[in-house]
A and B are shown apart, each in its own frame.
Chain A
Amino acid sequence: MSAGKTMNLTLHVWRQPSGTSQGRFVTYPAPDISPDMSFLEMLDVVNERLIAKGEDPIAFDHDCREGICGMCGMMINGQAHGPRRATTACQLHMRSFEDGDTITIEPWRATAFPVVKDLVVDRNAFDRIIAAGGFVSTHTGSAPDGNAIPVPKTAADQAMDAAACIGCGACVAACPNASAMLFTSAKVSHLGLLPQGQAERDQRVLKMVATMDEEGFGTCTNHGECEAACPKEIRLEFIARMNRDFIRAGLRNRGERAGSGGTG
């Protein structure tokens, strides 16, 4: 417990009134910060002080503050979600910083994630990738008994590893190419590892990759920054798996147009 001690920090924060206006860094002193605060609670305190002074508070996305909804996300000293491994910004605590530190805070930077205001970006490109094929086409009510589809424990566990993705976008923000391969491959792998996902496996990967490219995400050149930044520790091997699925689907579907047929 570190009760009693507080820290004095200096923040450089990206301020941008709207998506169409110019942004810039603004420096704010942040005195008397408790090490027990989460990073977002520290921003709350800074915002309360800004409002008291009649200034506009810093806009940032957040919701559950438990590291699971994926809504928060910002570059903290150049690292997506900050210095602590496997930790979202909302779960990062100020005890990860030292008294006197200067902290630079920026929004995700990617063509496919345009800035909305300050630290808030538009990540709906991720939703469109899912809408292109990140599902099993099953009608409500049409399911057989749950145990009619046995799933080997190892497959279920691996699928769960991939399904743990929270869609925060840190992988894109950390990638020098702003590639969405880790995000896309996590969903392709989650469903591709399960028997329920086999019927649409080829179409799924072809359509999701096509949408990923259309949305303006970059290509993967194997930097591995995405894996290092991922708060849920989604592994690079899922990208390898998606590449294999993509090539195989392309060969099997040669002559067919990607995007035609299927139910998605």
Chain B
Amino acid sequence: MELKANAPSGPIETRWERHKFEMKLVNPANKRKYSLIVVGSGLAGASAAASLAELGYDVSCFCYQDSPRRAHSIAAQGGINAAKNYQNDGDSVFRLFYDTVKGGDFRARESNVYRLAELSVDIIDQCVAQGVPFAREYGGVLANRSFGGAQVSRTFYARGQTGQQLLLGAYQALERQIGLGKVEMYPRHEMLELVVVGGKARGIVARDMITGALESYAADAVILATGGYGNVFYLATYAKGCNVTAIWRAYKKGALFGNPCYTQIHPTCIPVTGDHQSKLTLMSESLRNDGRIWVPLKKGDTRPPAQIPEGERDYYLERKYPSFGNLVPRDVASRNAKQVCDEGRGVGASGFGVYLDFADAIKRLGASVIAEKYGNLFDMYERITDENPYQVPMRIYPATHYTMGGLWVDYNLMTTIPGLHCLGEANFSDHGANRLGASALMQGLCDGYFVIPYTIGHYLASNKLDKVGTDAPEFKQAEQAASERTRTLLDVKGTRTVDSFHRELGKLMWEYCGMARNKQGLETALQKIPALREQFWKDVRVPGQGAELNQSLEKAGRVADFLELGELMCRDALTREESCGGHFREEHQTPDGEAQRDDQRFQHVAAWEHTGEGQAPKRHQEPLDFEYVHPSQRSYK
């Protein structure tokens, strides 16, 4: 299979402009005759559904939550990047593009990244017009801050709730279209199957999570915006319901899965307290602007932090990376935290934690300035840990937080199944092997507001789409497959709960496919995961019935898919014999412990094809060319 990226050539500044002109249009009067399905209502899904309905398409939108306003985009705290250069500090579209390609460790497609940087400015305008209450200066203009190691101030924010406010902006635009009758909204519906008719994506089967009914929906094209799959690690900063099911079903129907092993581990999360832990909480990495990260110099030093004198502390990031210090990119900060804890210098009861200390900042700026900047984060920390970070250093530890991998898409955001599009975190596209801070919100909204409204028209206008109804045999088959799967899960009647399997899978993934990976570990995981999966299907206990609200059944379906995905992630990580961004292979590092890429062999996207149950998936490659940003060893020293 040849992977056609369909990215335009020519000067990079003009690619999207030219591509927009070259794409076909759907006549305004004909748009209402096309029906579109959008699955997911986060930043990407809600912005897409609203914008497509505004254009006149007949849109149906699905989400598993009780309301589209709950999607997990809402939890993003820090901000959204845009190359506005409002601060006159040397930012530009090219610089944002450059930083994003470099930050992604040269594993993203240049054309896509440039487009993202170019459209970033329109996103801010759009959100301001919607009434998103961004932070302002006293003169009334938009405020910016530097974020996640960027050398310019290009991040826009709304207190520590930027994701919430951007999502509510998109949600309100979506509700407006729902009120106008242009979008049919299906909350508490979970997509269980993709329906492909005549080689094209033509609908979905979804479960009504209240009645348990399996329902078919037909459309002219399907858009998946279902977020990331980091819950494969069980403990992650994702919402509990986040899952891989929608894109996994698409993978099984022929959509290729790009770079599944690229996961991001966020450095500033609250450490685990015990086996009851159900999720991890992230605190914005903006904390690293003022907090200093350290551990004791000596192993096993259990003194309270205040009793450890300055000379017996190791501010390891400042020591190793003098020019970036505590603001090194996420992958570097996370890996270093793991390293010092593995050396036995971690802090807290578990030993899996490092200090993030605000004592110096409080001395320099005063507690009230720190409270104004980070008050809500300090409160949240105190609520969870019962410790006051104004007095005692915070304890942090890395946690899974984002997945750069996802369904492979071309420049038009279409997967390898014609008509099936994929947006936001669910696709693999723009972040390469590592995502920079404040870029996820940008990508979700870019895809939804400004890319898919153009590219979907091109698809619809270029393809003859016969009328397909839900009485087509493909829908019946898909319904039957979903129904059999549900029945099988309920019929196992084993002894172990779904959560116990999920937790075990998470531990395997964290140990063997987490922050640092090696051949032996990945091979071990590739033995253990199939064994666990087999045990799951023999011994899982799912109480209740199919035809009712059944949260155990919902979880069981998702975990069944995670048990398959985990194997693919390990396979991808094993095959990629290099280190790049969030994918760190211990065998491939520089003498001073930094990630070492192998551009000769791995300057490509790995896209996996499902070849049938019980058969090895096939690895395809999309070569990556770098015409503008030349691959170099990332250095943050």
B386 touches A93 (CB 8 A): yes
- Interface mask (A85-97 → B, CB under 8 Å = 1, otherwise 0): 0110001010100
Q: Which residues of A contact B133 (CB under 8 A)?
A: 156, 159-160, 163, 190, 194
Of B90-98, B174-182, B292-300, the one with at least 4 CB within 8 A of chain A? B174-182
A63 touches B239 (CB 8 A): yes
Interface of A is mostly: loop
Q: Is B136 an interface residue (CB 8 A)?
A: yes
Q: Is B583 an interface residue (CB 8 A)?
A: no
Which residue of chain B has its CB nearest to the CB of A49?
A: B497
A64 to B281, CA, bound (A): 9
B131 touches A36 (CB 8 A): no
Of B138-146, B435-443, B483-491, B517-525, the one with at least 4 CB within 8 A of chain A? B138-146
Please judge, given known A-B contacts A48-B497, A59-B551, A143-B129, whether A127 and B453 are in contact too, CB under 8 Å. no
A34 touches B551 (CB 8 A): no
A63 touches B384 (CB 8 A): no
B273 touches A156 (CB 8 A): no
In whole Å, how far is B235's beta carbon from the nearest beta carbon of chain A?
A: 11
In whole Å, how far is A218's beta carbon from the nearest beta carbon of chain B?
A: 21
Q: Is A136 an interface residue (CB 8 A)?
A: yes
Q: Which A residues from 113 to 171 make CB contacts under 8 A with B?
A: 116-117, 120, 122-124, 126-128, 130-132, 134-147, 149-153, 156-157, 159-160, 163-164, 166-167
In whole Å, how far is A55's beta carbon from the nearest beta carbon of chain B?
A: 7
A153 touches B137 (CB 8 A): yes
Please judge, given known A-B contacts A51-B543, A66-B75, whether A196 and B497 are in contact too, CB under 8 Å. no
B172 touches A140 (CB 8 A): no
- Interface mask (B600-623 → A, CB under 8 Å = 1, otherwise 0): 000000000000000000000000
Which residue of chain A has its CB nearest to the CB of B551?
A: A59
Q: Which residues of A contact B273 (CB under 8 A)?
A: 3, 34, 36
Q: Which B residues from 288 to 336 make CB contacts under 8 A with A?
A: none
Q: Is B499 an interface residue (CB 8 A)?
A: yes
A157 to B140, CA, bound (A): 11
Q: Which residues of B contact A86 (CB under 8 A)?
A: 379
Of B27-35, B66-74, B193-201, B402-410, the one with at least 4 CB within 8 A of chain A? B66-74
Q: Is A67 an interface residue (CB 8 A)?
A: yes
Q: Which residues of A contact B210 (CB under 8 A)?
A: 116-117
B240 touches A141 (CB 8 A): no
- Interface mask (B103-139 → A, CB under 8 Å = 1, otherwise 0): 0000000000000000000101111111101111111
Q: Is B189 an interface residue (CB 8 A)?
A: no
Please judge, given known A-B contacts A57-B552, A137-B176, whether A65 and B239 are in contact too, CB under 8 Å. yes
A44 touches B380 (CB 8 A): no
Contact of B543 among A38, A56, A138 (CB under 8 A): A56
A142 to B165, CA, bound (A): 20
B75 touches A138 (CB 8 A): no
In whole Å, how far is B29's beta carbon from the nearest beta carbon of chain A?
A: 18
In whole Å, how far is A42's beta carbon from the nearest beta carbon of chain B?
A: 8
Interface size class of A (residues with CB under 8 A): 35 or more
B131 touches A194 (CB 8 A): yes
Q: Which residues of A contact B176 (CB under 8 A)?
A: 131, 135, 137, 264
B130 touches A144 (CB 8 A): no
B67 touches A126 (CB 8 A): yes
Please judge, given known A-B contacts A70-B69, A123-B67, A141-B126, whether A150 and B383 are in contact too, CB under 8 Å. no
Q: Which residues of B contact A44 (CB under 8 A)?
A: 276, 278, 499
Of B2-10, B156-164, B420-428, B561-569, the one with at least 4 CB within 8 A of chain A? B156-164
A146 to B552, CA, bound (A): 46
Q: Is A18 an interface residue (CB 8 A)?
A: yes
Q: Which residues of B contact A127 (CB under 8 A)?
A: 67-69, 175, 178, 185, 187
A56 to B240, CA, bound (A): 20
Q: Which residues of A contact B175 (CB under 8 A)?
A: 127, 130-131, 134-135
Q: Which residues of A contact B252 (CB under 8 A)?
A: none
B131 touches A51 (CB 8 A): no
Q: Which residues of A contact B279 (CB under 8 A)?
A: 65-66
Contact of B239 among A69, A160, A264 (CB under 8 A): A69
Q: Which residues of A contact B158 (CB under 8 A)?
A: 160, 163
A38 touches B66 (CB 8 A): no
B179 touches A146 (CB 8 A): no
Which residue of chain A has its CB nearest to the CB of B183?
A: A131
A177 to B67, CA, bound (A): 24
A150 to B138, CA, bound (A): 10
In whole Å, how far is B9's beta carbon from the nearest beta carbon of chain A?
A: 26
A145 touches B51 (CB 8 A): no
B543 touches A196 (CB 8 A): no
B551 touches A57 (CB 8 A): yes
Q: Is A12 an interface residue (CB 8 A)?
A: no
Q: Which A residues from 180 to 199 make CB contacts under 8 A with B?
A: 190-191, 194, 196-197
Which residue of chain A has its CB nearest to the CB of B541?
A: A51
Please judge, given known A-B contacts A140-B54, A152-B136, A196-B131, whether A66 and B281 are in contact too, CB under 8 Å. yes
Which residue of chain B has its CB nearest to the CB of A2?
A: B386
A70 to B541, CA, bound (A): 30
Q: Which residues of A contact B240 (CB under 8 A)?
A: 62-65
Q: Which A residues from 1 to 56 make CB contacts under 8 A with B?
A: 1-3, 17-18, 34, 36-38, 40-42, 44-45, 48, 51-52, 54-56
Q: Is B369 an interface residue (CB 8 A)?
A: no
Q: Is A206 an interface residue (CB 8 A)?
A: no
Q: Is B548 an interface residue (CB 8 A)?
A: yes
Q: Is B469 an interface residue (CB 8 A)?
A: no
Q: Which residues of A contact B127 (CB under 8 A)?
A: 146
Q: Is B233 an interface residue (CB 8 A)?
A: no
Q: Is B16 an interface residue (CB 8 A)?
A: no
Which of A57, A140, A196 has the most chain B CB within a 10 Å cutoff?
A140
Contact of A69 among B65, B84, B380, B541 (CB under 8 A): B65
In whole Å, how far is B628's beta carbon from the nearest beta carbon of chain A?
A: 27
A41 to B274, CA, bound (A): 11
Q: Is A249 an interface residue (CB 8 A)?
A: no
B549 touches A156 (CB 8 A): no
Please judge, given known A-B contacts A57-B543, A69-B65, A153-B138, whether A138 and B281 are in contact too, CB under 8 Å. no
B126 touches A120 (CB 8 A): no
In whole Å, how far is A118's beta carbon from the nearest beta carbon of chain B?
A: 9
In whole Å, how far is B391's beta carbon from the nearest beta carbon of chain A?
A: 14
In whole Å, how far is B182's beta carbon from the nearest beta carbon of chain A?
A: 11
A60 to B51, CA, bound (A): 33
Which residue of chain B has its CB nearest to the CB of A166?
A: B164
B172 touches A1 (CB 8 A): no
Q: Is A71 an interface residue (CB 8 A)?
A: yes
Q: Is B449 an interface residue (CB 8 A)?
A: yes
Please judge, given known A-B contacts A91-B380, A122-B66, whether A45 and B75 are in contact too, CB under 8 Å. no
A68 touches B50 (CB 8 A): no
Q: Which B residues from 386 to 421 make CB contacts under 8 A with A?
A: 386-387
Q: Which residues of A contact B450 (CB under 8 A)?
A: 140-141
In whole Å, how far is B181's beta carbon from the nearest beta carbon of chain A?
A: 10
Q: Is B173 an interface residue (CB 8 A)?
A: yes
Contact of A132 among B66, B165, B179 (CB under 8 A): B179
A153 touches B140 (CB 8 A): yes
Q: Which B residues from 440 to 481 make CB contacts under 8 A with A?
A: 449-450, 453
Q: Is A99 an interface residue (CB 8 A)?
A: no
Q: Is A225 an interface residue (CB 8 A)?
A: no
B65 touches A63 (CB 8 A): yes
Contact of B54 among A59, A139, A147 (CB under 8 A): A139
A45 to B275, CA, bound (A): 10
B380 touches A264 (CB 8 A): no
B72 touches A64 (CB 8 A): yes
In whole Å, how far is B457's beta carbon from the nearest beta carbon of chain A?
A: 14
Q: Which residues of A contact B137 (CB under 8 A)?
A: 153
12 contacts between A and B (CB under 8 A): A38-B278, A55-B543, A65-B278, A69-B239, A91-B384, A124-B66, A128-B179, A132-B179, A135-B131, A141-B449, A149-B129, A153-B136
Excluding A136-B131, A156-B133, 10 further A-B contacts by CB distance (< 8 Å) are: A66-B282, A130-B69, A130-B175, A134-B172, A136-B172, A137-B176, A143-B129, A152-B138, A159-B131, A194-B133
The 5 A-B residue pairs with the shortest CB-CB distance, nearest first, are A150-B140, A131-B179, A143-B129, A135-B172, A143-B125
